[in-house]
Chain A
Amino acid sequence: MSNASSYIRIDNVSRRYGAFKALDDVSLDISKEEFIAILGPSGSGKSTLLRLIAGLDRPTEGRIHFEGKDVTELAPHKRGIGMVFQEFLLFPHRTVRENLAFPLRMRNEAKGEIEERVEWVAGILSLSTMLDRYPSQLSGGQQQRVALGRGLVARPTLLLLDEPLANLDRELRQEMEIEIRRYQKQLGIPFIYVTHNQEEALSMSDRIAVINNGRLEALGERQAIYDHPQTPFVARFVGKSSKFQGVVEPDGATVRLTRHDYEFALPSDKTFKPGDAVEIFVKNERFDITPKQHGGAGIPSKVVDVVLRGPFLEYVLETDRGDTVIAVKPKRNDPIPLQERVLLSWNPADCHIFKDGADDARR
Chain B
Amino acid sequence: MQDANLQRRLILNIPTAFLLLFFVLPLTALVVLSFWQTENYKIVHDWTLMNYTTLATEGAYITFFLRSLVMAVGVSVTLVALAWPIAYFIVRYGGRYRIIFSLLLVIPFLSGEVLRLIALQGMLGPAGLVNGALIRMGAAPLRMIMYSNAASFIAFIYLYLPLVVTTVYLSLINFDFRLAHAASACGANRFRIFTEVVWPLNLSGTIVGFMLAFIPTLSASLVPRFLGGPNGTLYGMSMAQQFGESGTWALGAAMGVVLFLFSAVALAILSYGVDLRRTGFTGLGRQ
Contact across chains for A81 and B278 when beta carbons are under 8 A apart: no
**8 Å CB contact of A107 from B179, B187, B196:** B187
Among all A-B residue pairs, the 8 with the closest Cβ atoms? A83-B185, A106-B187, A89-B182, A92-B280, A93-B280, A103-B186, A76-B184, A136-B282
Report B-chain residues with C-beta under 8 Å of the C-beta of A81.
Answer: 185
A183 within 8 A of B: no
Task: Give the complex CA separation of A76 and B188 in angstroms.
Answer: 8
Contact across chains for A56 and B189 when beta carbons are under 8 A apart: no
Task: Give the complex CA separation of A82 and B186 in angstroms.
Answer: 6
Contact across chains for A77 and B277 when beta carbons are under 8 A apart: no
Q: Smallest CB–CB gap between A39 and chain B, Å?
A: 22
A262 within 8 A of B: no
Q: Smallest CB–CB gap between B240 and chain A, Å?
A: 42
A358 within 8 A of B: no
Contact across chains for B186 and A150 when beta carbons are under 8 A apart: yes
**Least CB separation from A54: chain B residue:** B185
Q: Smallest CB–CB gap between B132 and chain A, Å?
A: 50
Report B-chain residues with C-beta under 8 Å of the C-beta of A55.
Answer: 184
Contact across chains for A87 and B184 when beta carbons are under 8 A apart: no
**Least CB separation from A104: chain B residue:** B187
User: Per-residue 0/1 for A41-78: is the Cβ within 8 Å of any B Cβ (1 yes, 0 no)?
Assistant: 00000000000001110000000000000000001110
Interface of A with B (CB < 8 Å)? 54-56, 75-77, 80-83, 85, 87, 89-93, 102-103, 106-107, 134, 136, 150-151, 154, 160
User: Per-residue 0/1 for B194-212: is the Cβ within 8 Å of any A Cβ (1 yes, 0 no)?
Assistant: 0011001100000000000
Contact across chains for A75 and B284 when beta carbons are under 8 A apart: no
**8 Å CB contact of B277 from A80, A83, A89, A134:** A134
Task: Give the complex CA separation of A150 and B179 in angstroms.
Answer: 13
- 10 A-B pairs in the complex with CB atoms less than 8 angstroms apart: A56-B184, A75-B184, A77-B186, A90-B182, A102-B186, A102-B188, A106-B187, A106-B192, A136-B282, A154-B187
B96 within 8 A of A: no
Contact across chains for A77 and B188 when beta carbons are under 8 A apart: yes
If A80-B187, A89-B176 are given as contacts, then 17 extra A-B residue pairs at C-beta distance below 8 Å, sorted by A number, are A54-B185, A55-B184, A56-B181, A56-B185, A76-B184, A77-B185, A83-B182, A89-B179, A91-B183, A91-B280, A92-B282, A93-B279, A102-B188, A103-B187, A106-B188, A136-B287, A150-B186
B136 within 8 A of A: no
**Least CB separation from B276: chain A residue:** A93
Contact across chains for A85 and B201 when beta carbons are under 8 A apart: no
Contact across chains for B187 and A93 when beta carbons are under 8 A apart: no
Contact across chains for A92 and B201 when beta carbons are under 8 A apart: yes
B8 within 8 A of A: no
**8 Å CB contact of A93 from B178, B182, B200, B284:** B200
Contact across chains for A77 and B287 when beta carbons are under 8 A apart: no
**Least CB separation from B186: chain A residue:** A103
Contact across chains for B201 and A93 when beta carbons are under 8 A apart: yes
With most chain B CB atoms within 10 A of its CB, the pick from A56, A93, A103, A106 is A93
Report B-chain residues with C-beta under 8 Å of the C-beta of A151.
Answer: 185
Report A-chain residues with C-beta under 8 Å of the C-beta of B277.
Answer: 93, 134
Within 8 A of A (CB), among B224-281: 277-280
**Least CB separation from A103: chain B residue:** B186
With most chain B CB atoms within 10 A of its CB, the pick from A55, A80, A89, A107 is A89
Q: Smallest CB–CB gap between B204 and chain A, Å?
A: 10
Task: Give the complex CA separation of A106 and B179 in angstroms.
Answer: 15
Report B-chain residues with C-beta under 8 Å of the C-beta of A154.
Answer: 186-187
Q: Smallest CB–CB gap between A81 and chain B, Å?
A: 6
Task: Give the complex CA separation of A134 and B201 in angstroms.
Answer: 14
Report B-chain residues with C-beta under 8 Å of the C-beta of A160.
Answer: 185
Task: Give the complex CA separation of A102 and B186 in angstroms.
Answer: 7
Task: Give the complex CA separation of A264 and B201 in angstroms.
Answer: 65
Task: Give the complex CA separation of A75 and B185 in angstroms.
Answer: 9
Known: A91-B179, A136-B282. A82 touches B192 (CB 8 A): no
**Least CB separation from A80: chain B residue:** B187
Task: Give the complex CA separation of A150 and B184 in angstroms.
Answer: 12
Report B-chain residues with C-beta under 8 Å of the C-beta of A80.
Answer: 187
With most chain A CB atoms within 10 A of its CB, the pick from B183, B186, B280 is B186
**8 Å CB contact of A77 from B189, B201, B278, B280:** B189
Report B-chain residues with C-beta under 8 Å of the C-beta of A93.
Answer: 200-201, 277-280
Task: Give the complex CA separation of A90 and B282 in angstroms.
Answer: 14
